[in-house]
């Protein structure tokens, strides 16, 4: 919930199955306690990890995967990706697979424009010829 408070995402998604069955009540309670409100979307678990990772695999083949070159975890990620599905660890592959399943729902972020020096930001006159300090409102 700390990341929801910090980054204020439009929505948060999680797989149905173990998360919903075991953690959803605690997630809801904690989000209320922390006032970390965001829309949640559940999506079904489909197949095994190899099948779920196909969408991110295709994107990586077309566009690559951009990661910080100096990241301390990069060698671990590379080792896990190249060893999958025969490797001992596959949590990072699983997380990337989930990201790949949601890529078509992402919306690019933007920085809102600063409002002009309006007398009443967000309000406008009822008619174009009307003065801003009019008593009429909608």
Give the other-Cβ count within 10 Å of 1's Cβ.
16
What pLDDT was estimated at residue 131? 56
Residue 76 has pLDDT above 80, yes or no: yes
Q: 98-137: per-residue pLDDT in tens?
A: 888 888 777 777 788 876 666 666 666 666 655 555 555 5
- Average pLDDT of the residues in 60-85: 91
Residue 83 has pLDDT above 90, yes or no: yes
What pLDDT was estimated at residue 133? 57
Q: 59 and 101: one domain?
A: yes
- Residue 40 near residue 70, CB atoms below 8 Å: no
- Total domains in the chain come to 2
- 62 vs 120: CA distance, rounded Å: 48
Range of the domain at 38: 1-45
Q: 68 and 32: one domain?
A: no
What pLDDT was estimated at residue 78? 92
Q: 39 and 6: one domain?
A: yes
Q: Is 51 exposed, middle or buried (0-12, 13-18, 19+ CB in 10 A)?
A: exposed
Q: 3-38: per-residue pLDDT in tens?
A: 888 988 888 888 887 778 888 889 889 999 999 888
Q: 31 and 53: one domain?
A: no
Judge whether 120 lies within some domain: no
- Predicted TM-score (pTM) of the model is 0.62
- Residue 44 near residue 15, CB atoms below 8 Å: yes
- 74 vs 20: CA distance, rounded Å: 31
């Amino acid at each position: 919930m700390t990341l929801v408070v910090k980054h204020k995402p439009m929505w948060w998604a999680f797989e149905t199955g173990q998360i919903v069955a075991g953690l959803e009540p605690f997630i809801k309670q904690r989000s209320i306690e922390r006032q970390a409100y965001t829309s949640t979307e559940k999506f079904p678990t489909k197949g095994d990890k190899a099948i779920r990772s196909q969408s991110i695999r295709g994107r990586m083949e077309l566009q690559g995967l951009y990661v910080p070159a100096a990241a301390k975890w990069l060698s671990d990620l590379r080792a896990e990706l190249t060893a999958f599905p025969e490797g001992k660890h596959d949590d990072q592959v699983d997380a990337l697979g989930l990201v790949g399943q949601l890529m078509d729902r992402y919306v690019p972020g933007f920085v809102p424009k600063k409002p002009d020096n309006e007398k009443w930001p967000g309000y406008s006159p009822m008619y174009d010829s009307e003065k801003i300090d009019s008593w009429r409102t909608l």
